[in-house]
Amino acid sequence: MRAIQEQRLQAKAAGLRAVALTLTFADNGAFCSGHISAFLERLRKVLKRRGHTLPYTWVLEREGRLHYHLMLWLPREFILDKRKLAQWWPWGSTWTAYCRHVKRWGSYMAKFNCVARLPKATRLFGYGGLDECGRAAVQRAGLPRWLQVLLPRGERTRRFPGGRWTNAETGEAYVSPYLWTPWGWVKRADTYGRGK
């Protein structure tokens, strides 16, 4: 949702419109995680020739057949031709519509019900086309809440084994104030997040 919010801000400034798209596999056995990248690369090349970038967000879902839901931000004059879509997505069917209710489509995409057994390392969602500020906002939104409180705005962290996070700017270490026990998460008595 945060990626869509950031893309919406960028799109408004650039005069782009939202397009909802679903790419469905005709046969789940034909699934390959590289298909979504191939599709997006074809669309990105077409837009690049016209001088545009491609902000996008996608999620993989299984309700019956495997399918991707996408939110694309396209120039107002650019039309997704059905013949081209069929060429770019030869593994099944496509559905597309102008997205008048971005928040609703984003909420629909954000629901998580992909319980299918997928090959290892299959990504369930992806996004792209954000500027540096947008990428930083999305990355920050993905951090644990306790770390968002401690980390100064505009600074980045890296995760290390053992539950530590390190500030990429200062090298300061952060440790979760919570500890996993057989009875669930409990708050540590000794510290609130800052490492030594």
Termini Cα distance of the chain: 34
Q: Inform me whether the pLDDT recorded for 163 exceeds 80.
A: no
**Token digits for 95?**
């559905």
High-pLDDT (> 70) share of the chain, %:
90
Q: Please state the rounded mean pLDDT for residues 130-139.
A: 81
* Dihedral, CA of residue 63, residue 68, residue 69 and residue 71, to nearest 10: 170
Q: How confident is the model at residue 196 (pLDDT cuts 50, 70, 90)?
A: very low
- Per-residue pLDDT of 42-96, as tens digits, reads 999 999 999 988 999 998 887 778 889 999 999 989 988 899 999 999 999 999 9
**Residue bearing the bigger pLDDT, 167 or 64:** 167
- Per-residue pLDDT of 2-47, as tens digits, reads 788 888 888 888 888 999 999 999 988 888 888 999 999 999 999 9
**Residue-range domains of the chain with CATH:** 2-134 (3.30.70), 144-187 (no CATH)
- Per-residue pLDDT of 108-130, as tens digits, reads 777 765 555 666 677 888 888 88
Q: How confident is the model at residue 168 (pLDDT cuts 50, 70, 90)?
A: confident
Identity (one letter) of the amino acid at 50? R
- Helix or strand holding residue 83 (H, E): helix 82-88
